[in-house]
Each structure stands twice: as structure tokens, then as C-alpha cells.
Homo-oligomer: A and B are copies of this chain.
């Protein structure tokens, strides 16, 4: 049996759907049933139920966006940094192997330009550069980076870095929906994670017996916002006239309270581990081709 924490969120839901599709027995735990933020409670629960794996998809993301975390610092810090530490302690105490949904948003930019003229992405070995320790990050990114710091050296723990999720189903959390709904857009380069591929790949790190540790679970490559808009326009899914901010300065002045992480991640460790993700433009085009609107 697999224990799933945070299974009612956007990412947690995708884990449920995936485990269901594979017929893998899992149990969604709500805080109201088992207060898993309490170390002793979680230890007792794990001792009683002896799950063969635990997935932590719980975390604080902010609604409607990351700006909200600036107003809810306590919850954000508790959910993204302290909770992983509590789960670590409980999993190490009970010998439970587990995975934590981390985030690529602890990076900004890229590592320079390669000989092919393309940006070089951050690997699992690079230190986060968009964290409290660099003093220019969002509170959200700061707490996610602290979460990784707290999990440093954790036994039997997979850290799965998600980066701006998308898929073919309209949702306020779906990157494609966001792009279609924002009044104006900021042109930037980003790695992305197809949500369904993300949860499948995360599960496979465990299933295929990969070494515990950090994995950038993103679709290989990167996209610019303008490329994403081109793909949306070509797909015919949304016919509005898209408009861009002139600069990040203008974006920060007009639309945002806290800086955004726009970054390129290197997904080659995952590929080397034998786990496939679709090239990002291809994955985006496919999501748009199968687009399911809710309105």
C-alpha cells in the first residue's frame, strides 16, 4: 500500500489518477484524519499501516498565484519546509522509503549558453540560486529551497523537482490555462513538467530502483513564452490577441508582488536513469491538440 499526503491538490490528484490507472493500492491521508504534520502521529500511523512507499504531494503554493505566499508566510514555511522535515524524521524512524514533490523554482535563469547556442540548464548538483540565501527570491521559493536543505542527506528519499505543470485539461494551475488567461505575458525561458508524465516519472524512479536523491523531473528542453503562445495560436484552442510586457521590470512594476523563477533545468539525470519524458515542444503541442476546456 502507498500512502499519499496532499492528494487533494493539483499534483496529488494526478498521483491518485496515475496510481488508479496502474491498479496500485494507495491511501490518501487528510490532515483531519491523521495529523501528519505531527511527527509522533505520523510515526504511529506508519508503524500501524506499514506502507511500502509514501508520496508527499502536500505543500503550500498560494492562490491564485505565488504572490499569495507573501501574505501567508507562516503556512508557506510550515507546509514547504517544516513538513518535509517532519516526514523525513518519521520515514527514517520507521524505515519508510518516500518521495517529496520539490520544485525547480529554486533556480532562476540558466548556467550560460552552450556551444549549440542554447541555455545550459541547472543540474541536480547545482546549488539553488533562487532561495533565501540569495536574498531576491519569492517567499515561496525560499521555503521550497529550505525544504530541500532540510532533506539534504535524507535516507531513502526521492526529491522530485516539478517545474510549472501543464497538461491537456483546463485548470487554474495548468500553465497553458494561465498563459491563455493572463492579460499580459512576460517573455521568459522555462523548463516545464507535463503533469501526467511527471507523476509517472516520479513513480518510476522508485519502481525502477533508481538511487534516492534529487531528480529534475521536467520535459527535456526549454520553451520561451512566445513559443508557447505560437503553439496555442496554431492549435486554435484560444483565439485571443496576446500581449506582452516590454520587460521584466514592467512586469514586476505592474503585475507581480514578488519575483518569479524563470529557469532552465537539465533533465538528463532522469533520462540516464532510463525514464523517458517527451521533448517539451512536442508535449505542449500534444496537450493543445487534446485540449479539454471546462467552459
Q: How far is the CA of A170 from the CA of B109 in the complex (A)?
A: 53
* Nearest-Cβ distance from residue A31 to partner chain B, whole angstroms: 11
Chain B hits for A146, CB < 8 A: 77, 132
* Nearest-Cβ distance from residue A76 to partner chain B, whole angstroms: 9
Q: Is the interface of A mostly helix, strand, loop or mixed?
A: helix
Chain B hits for A135, CB < 8 A: 133-135
* Nearest-Cβ distance from residue A273 to partner chain B, whole angstroms: 28
Given that A78-B78, A82-B82 are contacting pairs, would A73 and B150 also be in contact in the complex, using a CB cutoff of 8 Å?
yes
Interface residue stretch chosen among A84-92, A179-187, A204-212: A84-92
Q: Is A142 an interface residue, CB under 8 A from the partner?
A: yes
Chain B hits for A77, CB < 8 A: 77, 81-82, 85, 146, 150
- The closest CB in chain B to the CB of A150 belongs to B73
Given that A133-B133, A133-B135, A135-B135 are contacting pairs, would A150 and B81 also be in contact in the complex, using a CB cutoff of 8 Å?
no
* Nearest-Cβ distance from residue A253 to partner chain B, whole angstroms: 22
Check if B74 sits within 8 Å of A150, measured CB to CB. yes
Q: Is A149 an interface residue, CB under 8 A from the partner?
A: yes
Q: Give the A interface residue count (CB, 8 A).
A: 19
State the A residues within 8 Å of B (CB): 73-74, 77-78, 81-82, 85-86, 88-89, 131-135, 142, 146, 149-150
Q: How far is the CA of A81 from the CA of B132 in the complex (A)?
A: 14
Q: List 11 A-B contacts (CB under 8 A).
A: A73-B150, A74-B85, A74-B86, A74-B88, A74-B150, A77-B85, A78-B82, A78-B85, A132-B133, A134-B135, A135-B135
* Nearest-Cβ distance from residue A205 to partner chain B, whole angstroms: 24
Q: How far is the CA of A55 from the CA of B88 in the complex (A)?
A: 31
Chain B hits for A142, CB < 8 A: 132
Q: How far is the CA of A86 from the CA of B135 in the complex (A)?
A: 24
Chain B hits for A81, CB < 8 A: 77
Chain B hits for A85, CB < 8 A: 73-74, 77-78
Given that A133-B133, A134-B135, A135-B133 are contacting pairs, would A82 and B88 also be in contact in the complex, using a CB cutoff of 8 Å?
no
Question: Which 10 pairs show the lowest CB-CB distances between chains A and B?
Answer: A74-B85, A132-B132, A133-B135, A78-B82, A73-B150, A77-B82, A132-B133, A82-B82, A77-B81, A74-B150
* Nearest-Cβ distance from residue A30 to partner chain B, whole angstroms: 16
Chain B hits for A150, CB < 8 A: 73-74, 77
* Nearest-Cβ distance from residue A88 to partner chain B, whole angstroms: 7
* Nearest-Cβ distance from residue A114 to partner chain B, whole angstroms: 28
Chain B hits for A131, CB < 8 A: 132
- The closest CB in chain B to the CB of A74 belongs to B85
